[in-house]
Chain A
Amino acid sequence: MSLLEPELIRQGGKSGPALVDGMPKQSLLFKKILDNSMPPQGHSRLTLEDREILHRWIDFGAPAIKDYERLYGSQTELVSDEDRDHFAWRKLSFSQVPKVRGQSRILSPIDAFLLARLEEKDLTFAPEADGLVLARRLYFDLIGLPPTPKQLDDFVYGWVQNPQVAYGQLVDQLLQSPHFGVRWGRHWLDAAGYVDVCGADENASQIRLPRGGWRYRDYVVQAFNNDKPYHQFLVEQLAGDELFDWRNADQFTPEMIESLVATGYWRTAMDDTDQDVLNIPSNRYAVLFDQMEIFGSSVLGLTLQCARCHSHKYDPIPQRDYFRLLANLTPAFNLEDWLKRDARELADVSPKQRTAIDAENAEIDRLLTPLQKELSDLGQRADVRLLPPRLAKIPLEDRAAVEEAFGLAVDTRSDAQNALLGKHADALLISGEDRKSVQTEEEQRRSEELQGKLSELEADRRHYGFIHALYDYGALPTTRVLVRGETTRPGRPVSPGFLSALCDSDQEAVQATFERHGETSGRRLGLARWATNPESRGGALVARVIVNRVWHHLFGQGLVASLGNFGYSGASPTHPKLLEWLAHDFVASGWKMKRLIRQMVSSTVYRQSSSPLAVESAARAKEIDPDNDLLWRARLRRIESEIVRDAMLRSSAQLDETLNGPPVGIEQREDKTFHVVRGKPTPTSHLRRTLYILSRRNYHMPMLDVFDVPAMTTNCVMRDQSTVVLQSLTMLNDDFIVEHSRKTAEGVAAASALRDGQISLAFKRILSRLPSRNERLQSQEFLKDQAALFASSATEVDGEEETDEQRLVRAELEALAMLCQMLFNSNNFLYLE
């Protein structure tokens, strides 16, 4: 046996393992020392102090020496001030707006920071983009929809009068649009990992929805539309349940409901613990680990999960700190006293009201039961009379058993009997009419009377909705470091706290006092206050992470390119001073998102052209800065999957603009692809924005799938941007695009009888511009050729061959639909110039 490595001691020798992690008294190694059989005779005994050290070491899970010092050593701090001195982790500082030569190009302080860097290389911004290009850019960036032809005309009219004013007005108008929240809400929901379903979502045909889960999605959209300050937005999501004593409230105020709904942020991870076989410790931990990862990347911009099994390999995040953070969550995710997923769903009325309502409903049930029984018996007695002709259809071997089962009152049948009757349900089908025909008048009268009473009673039943919330419950649990991240190996207990690297000292990283409203620990509220305190390193990081993400959404690449990693292994900021200035300014002006977005889109850098042809010194710029990190022109950006679909709905003028509410269903077709359920719950609900179509982790509509809608295993802080062949196939062949190209063509044809007018309108609707001369000629050629091809194949109308005139009209429309579809297929549609 070898004592060289903890692992070898664990393996032990002939007498079996010599170490039981966390249990010194059960460990052979320690037992032998206690009973003095080791060290062998002739060697000096271990001192008490040595024993003490050994005891502690085993107690802590016998980590290897290197880890031991890093994890538990008390002599040195685990995180040094030098560690803390990282650009993203410093406290916010004010950075001076730089002086630049090209003052005429400065529309916002942002421009000065960028231009200063460009001027260092003797470069400058690209000229301002064309008005129509800017309008399309703004519409997609701010609301995720193209302008209607009318909106486009209005803008152009204003632009011709005064471009500056028209631009500003358009920005204001779009920020006020309710679709702003739909667009920006989705960005946040990505970061939070929100999908409509719960659990791992592996089974294509099984859709499991948490009750009231969608209310969190609506909360986020409304928060953006109401311009809720970001720090408040975070506090509500992290600890909305700890802001009020809702447990003892007579009734919930709208603020309480809103705050409780906001905690849905913590309920986005896969959680299948409502299925008993999956309600095991490792799965409970998995929920907690996923939520930690989501919190880390969405709010802190850190890869916290790396510090779960061992101290972080790149960042000064000891494993201890991971579990300190995790300890903020355990009062609500109590591993020993676990609330199964469905049991967490909270009523949207106060606990007192819920008790009262449940009692009233129980009383209704009490009154209902005998009436239902009587009605059921009346029916059953009639059904028996109807049995003989039906019995003939039942196979002989089951007949006697069916007859016996049928003769019993419904509530007295055994499970086996019910199964038997279920098996022959088709043969035994009895309609209400059939039943009436064999009932006496008295029986019929009584049945109707009973039905009337039942619906009267049902009408009195009171309902309440649900909230997919997080809240503390029960006794405070002890949170322990897991040795090597293994859920079966709890080690030393830790106190709730923050990351030491994001605090001025280790003492500060432990939560000492708690703000408590009602029966709750106040731990998450402490976490939320720390994360939104602009004076703290944590708050500074949180501000940097969010302004950077907003920058990414508007400019196509973050100032820090790794949106979810602001640690040592993340990307360095291209413009550190600008990042600092933006974060500082954002915080100083009240964490307002709309203000931040307006600030960015009003800058010269946002408004410049993306085409290198517009840049005089493009060749030199390309040589100096080939990746355009300095932003000497705007970036060409592809629109996201949902926006591809939404834009088509806008172009075809079919969009149902209804916001909020439970998601519209999706269903699987025979070919295994998913599609929106048509006409349910409303005739046009399948035409709603994609945000309101049921979102799953693994199963998506083809149009979304190919354009990189994330498979939401945890969350997504940055969408992929792939360029794959399936995209082309989908844009050529998918039913959705075929249908909406056709609808666009119908709309265009209805608005203009002339081919030329139709071409113009199609371009306007789909590409938000008019065709060039060349494009117009090509389009005319195309329509002519395609109409001829379509006319060459005959189609039947109402069972008869179409007339020549019908054929011509059909062919022209089909050609126009093809034109529209090719416009949707063009790079021009898919990219924001």
Chain B
Amino acid sequence: MSTLSETSRTESALSTLRRGVRLSPEFRVGLAGTLGLALAATVGRVVVPVAVQQTIDHGLHAHAGPDVAFIRTAVLICAVVVAFTALCAYTMNVRLYRTSESGLAALRVKAFRHVHDLSMLTQSGERRGALVSRVTGDVDQISQFMQWGGLMFLISAGQLVVASVLMLIYSWPLALLVWVSFLPLAFALRRFQRLVSAAYITVRERVGQLLSAVSESVVGASVIRAYAAEDRTARRVDESVEHFRAAQTRAQALVALTFPSSELVAALATGGVVVAGTLLGIGGHLTAGELVAFLFLVTLFVGPMQVATEVLNDAQNAIAGWRRVLGVLDTEPDVADPGPGGVELPRGPIEVRFEDVGFAYPGGPQVLKDVTVDIAPQTRVAVVGETGSGKTTFAKLLTRLMDPSSGRVLVDGVPLDAVRFSSLRERIVMVPQDGYLFDATLADNVRYGRPAATDEELLLALTELGLGEWLDGLPRGLATPVGQRGESLSAGERQLVALARAYLADPDLLVLDEATSAVDPATEVRIQRALDGVTRGRTAIAIAHRLSTAEAADEVIVFDGGRVVQRGPHSTLVAEPGVYADLYASWAAQREA
């Protein structure tokens, strides 16, 4: 399910281009100068045909016999022109690279930031790889086009125009002949390009399947061994390798067939020029030098035709990539920072109020209904309920990862959506169940909560949480590398790090969403106790399925079917018949069985 903006996917290539350039004004810097240089550079390409023509007509076949002095002068002038146009080409290239790469780097960063600004729901609606592509592969495609395809297009177009103009000056009927020869090819190439492009789309799809099959043999290594599924995996890998090879070969065959077609057409044109040109020459309409120059000019048509399919492919990919990037930028963050006009909350104990809050996921049923709750400052609240009762949704609304569909959430009397993100994220921090860790050391990960923290402060935080002994047990202590996604640590240990990270951030309201679910009971209780001590003076809300947390809380809020059905201290709730008493009975049975 993709929730990214769709509007830009149907717009024309030209308007994509226009919008793209508007979003990255860097592209326009010195554009006129660059184009001028490009035109000057292409003039260099017709120097040789002109020199050949001049040499033959005025040097060799001059009335007074070969005139070497004239040829020497002509060659010298031409050499100077060649050198000058090469210089123009160099300057143009460097300018083009510099402006396009600056524009693209800015676009990349802009899109990256925008992805983070999108709401959690929008983010999770996309495959992670797809979002990564928006700031990598898609931008690279534009970059590749700018550096090769776009440049080729510019040069080829210039080359065709300059060659045609020169041909028209020499002889318009012959120019027409060359054009008529190449015109059908130009149309055919458009068709070829569609075929080739479709073939390469298949290649790209197959490479995706190949990567996914190969990654199973690596990421699933232990399951494959535990279940002796080697043969099955090998079969799947073989299949995808073979599919990929077949697609590559097919695409290559198409290119191999279409690529030399321009050679054939060029030969037809050359043959035609020889015949028609000679006849024209006999009639006195053309000199020998002009005819030979034509033969050279025809070769200038071959290059652009040969690269045309590739340039068109490149252009198509670049436009599609650009559209996808713009699609991200077009997506309004539905949970947005109010910006500079927003409220900055002063630090201090936090008070929370839910007023008639309802919530439904887009296109889904109502998961929260009429929730009205007050949480006094400095209280410790446990939120309990069965799987799917709405307790995690409650936490997400409280931390403004999502906005309610109806009603409102207030902190210290201010509607949550009026509070600046910088202030909100500093004061309210949530620890999710799956504590994601970055591929760095343990210290780096904890320090993510407060980048300025010293090693001593990290140690103090871990000790305060009762994790000193665990840390001492790690051979490299704070310098322990946690591996990709923290996978060098056990699931429980990852949760400990995530908790320490949030704790170090020192928020006024700490929200724990089953943050210690994979930790052993003794450690969990120890952390619980530690938090009790250190969270005195702040507000703490814990979503829990282990009811030890509820027993320890000042107040328990019980969710059932998206509603708050009970609330009060554990001791009161457990004594009255209801959802909580049932939950507690089943928990106690588990615990004491």
Report if A and B associate in a common complex.
no
Interface residues in chain B, defined as those with a beta carbon under 8 Å from any beta carbon in chain A: none
Interface residues in chain A, defined as those with a beta carbon under 8 Å from any beta carbon in chain B: none
